[in-house]
A = this chain, B = another copy of it.
């Protein structure tokens, strides 16, 4: 009976075909091209070189590599769950992006009754997808593809609404997405895994380990993420020096967290050896930690220090906090997303707030009011006209002070955490529906449940026997 209960033969196609038919209907009814894509908008004054595609596409390809190859390889670290990690990542990412194009499109890119599509929408949708994939990390190996798709189905709209509400009403600075992406994803994922708690897994699981090859594959994923993270953190900043700073700070912070991770890995290992899981995960802490202030004038030294701090928090989280949460709070965080995205995200938010409080015209010059656009004087303020002499095209803002902006950041942090945790818990209850085919405890972290696996997947010896027979027969 169990074998039947996890068969994907009916339920996966039903889910996918229904959602696809809805998707294509929504596309047909509500999606059109934006002005950089539509042939009709090209006039004799159009200079094709100025098309937004040349600004957005390079960054988009980098984020594509991060999502599909970076996350994909990184999540393939279990010895018997390499297919699951990489393939479910592929499935969930593709689904989440399509869904996000529609939902975010509705909230952020629609006017005249239509969602207007360009590569910029794809970048935004891949950010929403990254949120889902981070949350996925909390329940890796313990969920069916159907559960993951339902999670994406629910998480994407909640994320899109939160993103829209925070950007529209709280109007925060969060270039690298520390609040909206990392904190949201983390607490949503923790909410889900809290509900999906499996007591037996706290005692350890025979298949919850890596192999030599899976460790290497996972490290390759880390390296893809590491290499292209500056593009992730700078994708949605203002162009020019802001983007340049974001790239520089991300690189420096990642370097700092990488070196710190090696130091701590050897130091906290009782034999003084390096632990691969640390290199695969903790090295990336700097990319998150610098996120909220990544485009600000924080100085290279501060980026370096943030990388170190984020890494220390992340590493201590892995060593001490994660086991504690699993034992006492029913939070089984499979990939330790609370360490890599939660703790670092909180530090990032704090650093962002400090950077906001310290930002002044002396350091930024008049472009202070571009980066912190809500601090720009309100329409009608004579100061605005002065500034518009210095920065043509500066938009009127809300005249916020640094302190006010900081308070809105704080509000965004708490409301994001609250909404995402609650959403995660509710989603968790939905995921408990039995027809979503959750794996039994003993078939967690095991590809044979959902895949036709090759003969050697759990033991190369079986292959050897085949070959011997074959050779002797030949």
Contacts and interface: CB of A to CB of B under 8 A. Distances in A.
A97 interface: yes
Interface stretch (A154-162, A264-272, A376-384): A264-272
A267 B9 contact: yes
A408 interface: no
Given A276-B451, A305-B24, A244 B53 contact: yes
A400 B49 CA distance: 29
A297 B37 CA distance: 9
A444 B44 CA distance: 59
What 6 A-B pairs have minimum CB-CB distances, sorted nearest first?
A: A48-B240, A9-B272, A7-B272, A28-B301, A27-B301, A16-B263
Interface in A350-407: 363-365, 367-368, 371, 389-392
B83 A276 contact: yes
B262 A91 contact: yes
Nearest to A460: B460
Contact of A83 (B24, B37, B215): B215
| Chain multiplicity (copies) | 3
Interface in A1-36: 3, 7-10, 12-13, 16-17, 19-20, 23-24, 27-28, 31-33, 36
A98 interface: yes
Interface in A231-281: 231, 238-245, 247-248, 251-252, 255-256, 258-260, 262-264, 266-267, 269-276, 279
Given A9-B269, A27-B300, A94-B259, A44 B390 contact: yes
A419 interface: no
A418 interface: no
B16 A262 contact: yes
A151 interface: no
A214 to B, nearest CB: 8
A58 B32 CA distance: 28
